[in-house]
């Protein structure tokens, strides 16, 4: 079972992610802002991070960049999951090191496929 960190400040989006991933039986953890996520990732091991972009205290783009620059954290796959749907946003996310970029809303199966793909690497 994988340990997955969900980083999102929207209770609705957190419930969606938890529901979509319920069939996987992975251990899911939640951080509701960038600072909380940073503390969790630096103190606990995670196999994958699902990361919103627009959040209080620290953006998902900043977090992704910081994690990917850290030798201990750079190999954790990061799936950006955001309402920012412009091609320039996607390119910026990839430039920050995101392994995948999904836009909200999406079908639960699309999130499941992305999670499975990155956990199997």
Q: Which of 23-32, 42-51, 82-91, 102-111 has the lowest mean pLDDT?
A: 82-91
Q: Which residues does residue 50 pair with via DSSP β-bridges, in sequence order?
A: 6, 79
Query: Residue 5's pLDDT is what?
Result: 97
State the chain's mean pLDDT as an integer: 91
Q: Which domains does the chain have, with CATH numbers?
A: 3-119 (3.40.50.2300)
| 29/21 Cα distance (integer angstroms) | 12
Of how many residues is the chain composed?
121
pTM over 0.85: yes
Query: Residue 69's pLDDT is what?
Result: 94
Query: Residue 29's pLDDT is what?
Result: 97
Whether pLDDT at 56 is above 90: no
The count of other CB atoms within 10 Å of the CB of residue 79 is 23
Query: Residue 84's pLDDT is what?
Result: 79
CB distance 106 to 80 below 8 Å: no
Instruction: Quickly list DSSP for 16-30.
Output: HHHHHHGGGT-EEEE
Query: Residue 93's pLDDT is what?
Result: 79
Query: Residue 111's pLDDT is what?
Result: 94
**55: pLDDT confidence band, cut at 50, 70 and 90?**
confident
Whether pLDDT at 16 is above 90: yes
Query: Residue 76's pLDDT is what?
Result: 95
* Cα Rg of the chain (Å, integer): 13
């Amino acid at each position: 079972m994988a340990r997955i960190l969900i980083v999102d400040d929207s209770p609705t989006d957190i419930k969606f992610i938890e529901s979509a991933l319920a069939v996987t039986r992975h251990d899911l953890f939640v951080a509701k802002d960038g600072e909380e996520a940073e503390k969790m990732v630096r103190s606990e091991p995670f196999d994958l991070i699902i990361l919103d972009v627009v959040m209080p205290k620290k953006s998902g783009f900043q977090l992704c960049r910081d994690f990917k620059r850290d030798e201990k954290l750079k190999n954790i796959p990061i799936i950006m999951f955001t309402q920012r749907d412009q091609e320039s946003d996607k390119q910026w996310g990839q430039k920050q090191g995101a392994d995948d970029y999904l836009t909200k809303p999406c079908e639960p199966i699309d999130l499941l496929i992305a999670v499975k793909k990155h956990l199997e690497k």
